[in-house]
């Protein structure tokens, strides 16, 4: 049985949505799911005479995807996808389990600066209009 498991429905992304990326982070609305992928380069340093390959850790890299439902009253998703490094906080669960009210630290989160690399918007017969944003780290990304 999984212990300390949580449901993903209360996740949240707070990101600096100001035009110059110099404001406070606020919640990016209508987010429906997200992903984050952290990797580290592995560099082979094997030399003659060794019986196994040896490696050293290299640079870290974080990328991810955000998906949501289009909110026609907000341009937030288009503002953040302008190629400027923006501060973000990606919360696993942004609510208090008892009161269902937002809490400042949630149950763990990632933070740093990211480049939000454009918006893909799609829709069709029988479906809501949705958006996708891919992002990549602009600074070190930390997990709290």
Band of the pLDDT at 87, cuts 50, 70, 90?
very high
Tokens of 74: 């907000």
| pLDDT tens digits for range 11-61 | 889 999 888 888 888 888 899 999 999 999 999 999 999 999 999 999 999
31: CB partners within 8 A, 6+ apart = 11, 12, 13, 66, 67, 68
Band of the pLDDT at 105, cuts 50, 70, 90?
low
Alpha helices (H) along the chain: 76-80
The model's pTM is 0.82
| pLDDT tens digits for range 117-128 | 989 999 999 999
Side-chain-side CA neighbours of 71 within 13 Å: the count stands at 13
């Amino acid at each position: 049985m999984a212990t300390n498991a949580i449901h993903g429905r209360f996740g949240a992304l707070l990101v600096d949505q100001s035009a110059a990326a110099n404001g406070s982070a606020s919640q990016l609305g209508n987010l429906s799911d997200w992903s984050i992928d952290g990797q580290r380069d592995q560099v082979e340093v094997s030399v003659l005479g060794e019986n196994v390959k040896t490696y050293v850790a290299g640079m870290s890299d974080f990328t991810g995807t955000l998906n949501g439902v289009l909110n026609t009253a907000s341009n937030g998703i288009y503002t953040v996808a302008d190629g400027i490094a923006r501060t973000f906080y990606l919360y696993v669960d942004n609510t208090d389990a008892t009161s269902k009210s937002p809490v400042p630290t949630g149950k763990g989160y990632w933070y740093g600066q990211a480049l939000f690399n454009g918006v893909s918007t799609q829709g069709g017969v029988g479906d809501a209009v949705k958006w996708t944003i891919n992002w990549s780290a602009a600074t070190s990304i930390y997990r709290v």
